Amino acid sequence: MRGPNVLFVVLDTARAATVFGDDAAEVAPRLTEFAESGVRFTNATANGPWTLPSHAAMFTGQRTSDHGAHAGTKQFSAGDRSLPARLGRMGYRTAAFSNNPWISPSFGFDGFDHFSPCWKLFSKGADLASIAKTEDRSEQVRELAGELLSPTGPQTLVNSLYMQFFRETYDSGARRTVRRMKRWFRSRDGDDDRPFFAFANFMEPHLAYDPPERFQREFLTDGQIARAETVNQDAWAHITGADERTAEEFEILHGLYKAELRYLDQRLGDLLDFLAESGELDDTAVVLVGDHGENIGDHGLMDHQYCLYDTLVHVPLVVRPPGDAGDRLRGATCEEPVELRDLYPTILSLAGGDPADLDALDSGGPDLDSATSRNVLVSDEADESLCSDREYAVSEYLHPQPEIGDVRDRYDEVPRDISTFDRALRAVRTPDWKYVEASDGTEELYDLREDPAETRNLVGERPAVADRLRERATDDLGPLEYRSGDETDIEEGTKRQLEELGYL
C-alpha cells in the first residue's frame, strides 16, 4: 500500500515565543493559518540549542548524548538508521534542500536520493568562498588554479562568484530553494508511483538579519530602517563586551528578526499553495518546526549558544497528517512536553511504518531502543492527537561553540569574563518548571508559569523541585559530562561559511 507524501520543513532559528506569540498573525500569517489545519504543539523542546545536534536528534530519534553530534564532535553517523535511509527502504523517493552547511552529507546528513546544497548555484564543484578572502595573492592563484583545472572547474568558478557576489543579494536562499523544490516536484516521473519525502532547511531567521525592505516596514519605522544597516550584528562582540548593543538597537534587531520570519512565511505559503494546486497537499503529511530559537539580547546574549533558556530550546511545531486524519485533528493543540527527537518515530508512523516495530526497518547498527522512546506525536489513524506521554523534555549542550579561546582571540579587548561559558549544560523542562544544571556545579530553577522569561533563579528557594528534576535527568541519562572536542576535518569553503554564520 502506497504511503502518503511527507514534507518536513525546518525554519532554522525560529523561536516559539515569536512564531506562536501574541502577534503571530502578523509575523507568520500563513503558518498560523496552516496550524489551524493540523496539530499545534505549544511545549515542543529542541534537544540541542543549535543546528547540528538538533537536526541529528530529529534524524535519529536520539538525544545529543546518544547520537554524539555536538560542538566537540561536529559529525554524526546514523547510516541506515537515519530518517531518509529508513524512508528510502519503505519505498519513498527522498530529497533534501538545505540552506545550512551543517545539514549536508559532509556532516552525516546523507541517505537522500537527491541533495541540493542551496548555498551553491551548482551542486558540483568545490566551494571557493575562501579564495577571495585569502590575503596572500600567490596563495590565491595556487588554490584557484588547482580547482579550476579539475573536472568540475567551471562549476567551481561559477559557485565561487555566486557565493561572493550574488547569493544573499535578495534573501538567505528561500526564493531559490522554493524554486528548486517546485522543479524537483515537477520532475518526478509520472510512471513512478513512489511517494516523496522532501526535507527543507530555510535560513532566513538566522543572523545576519537582512530581510527585503518591504517586510521591514511591517515591523520598523522609517527611522529604524535607516539605522538598521549601522547596527552591529556581531553576536560575540556583544557577549564579550567588546561592542555591546543598546536597548534601541535590540528593538531594531527584534523588528528585523520578525521581518525575516514574515518573509519566510510568505515563501512557505507559496510552497504550500504549489502543492495544493498540483493536487498533492491533501495526500501529504506536513511537519513545520524550528530547530532552535534565538537570543536577541535575552539573558545578555545573542545568537544561539552558551545557554539552554527557552529563548533557544522552546520552538514552534505544527504537524498535519494527510487526508481524513488531518480533517479529524484540525485545530488540535497539544500542551504536553514533547522533544524534537519525537519527530523521528512520528514521521515514520505517518509514512506507514509501525512505531512498535521500527527495528524491522533496520539493516544493522547499534540498538536504539534505550535511546529512543517510541513517542509518536500524531498518527494518520488516530481520532485525536496522540500528543505525548512525557512528563518532561530534555535539552543538552555538551561543549561550547565557538570555543571560548577562539572568541577571545577575535578582539583586542574582552571586558567581560566569558570563561563561565566553558561548560556543559543539561535542562529538564516540564509545563511548570525548568531546571538547568551545569558541569561546573551551578544550578538554575525557574517557575515557567510565573516567570516564563526565566529571570528569577529559585534553586535556593525550591530545592526539593530541583532535586526531583535533577534525579530524573540523572536516572535517564546518567551524570552530566563535559564532552571534550576533537579535530573535525571541514572543507575550507564550508568552514568559511560557518565562520560567517558565527558558528566557528
State how beta strands 425-429 and 393-397 pair. antiparallel
- Count other Cβ atoms within 10 Å, centred on residue 7: 23
How far apart CA 66 and CA 242 sit, in angstroms, is: 37
- Count other Cβ atoms within 10 Å, centred on residue 114: 14
List the chain domain ranges.
Answer: 5-119+167-393, 128-166
**Burial of residue 214, with CB atoms counted within 10 A of its CB: 0-12 exposed, 13-18 middle, 19 or more buried:** exposed
pLDDT at 344: 95
pLDDT tens string 173-204: 999 999 999 999 999 877 678 999 999 999 99
Say if residue 358's pLDDT is above 80.
no
Comparing CA positions, the residue from 481, 480, 479, 487 lying closest to residue 403 is: 487
Average pLDDT, the chain: 85
Is residue 495 very low, low, confident or very high in pLDDT (cuts 50, 70, 90)? very low
Planar angle of CA 324, 325, 331, nearest 5 degrees = 110
pLDDT at 125: 52
* Cβ-Cβ contacts under 8 Å for 451 (sequence gap 6 or more): none
Q: 163: which 3 cell numbers?
A: 557565493
pLDDT tens string 256-270: 999 999 999 999 999
* Cβ-Cβ contacts under 8 Å for 349 (sequence gap 6 or more): 355, 376, 379, 380
Predicted TM-score (pTM) of this structure: 0.86
Look up the CATH architecture of domain 5-119+167-393: 3-Layer(aba) Sandwich (3.40)
**Burial of residue 62, with CB atoms counted within 10 A of its CB: 0-12 exposed, 13-18 middle, 19 or more buried:** buried
Place of cell 528548486: 180
Query: What distance separates the 2 farthest-apart alpha carbons in the chain?
Result: 67
CB 343 within 8 A of CB 60: no
pLDDT at 380: 62
Comparing CA positions, the residue from 48, 355, 49 lying closest to residue 57 is: 48
Q: 242: which 3 cell numbers?
A: 567588546
Least confident segment among 43-47, 160-164, 236-240, 451-455? 160-164
Look at residue 115 and give its three-state secondary structure.
Answer: strand
- Count other Cβ atoms within 10 Å, centred on residue 173: 22
How far apart CA 316 and CA 42 sit, in angstroms, is: 7
Least confident segment among 16-30, 83-97, 330-344, 488-502? 488-502
Q: What's the distance, Cα to Cα, between the start and end of the chain in Å? A: 46
Q: Which residues face 437 on adjacent strands?
A: 426, 443
Q: 98: which 3 cell numbers?
A: 538545505
Average pLDDT score over residue span 382-409: 84
Place of cell 518548571: 433
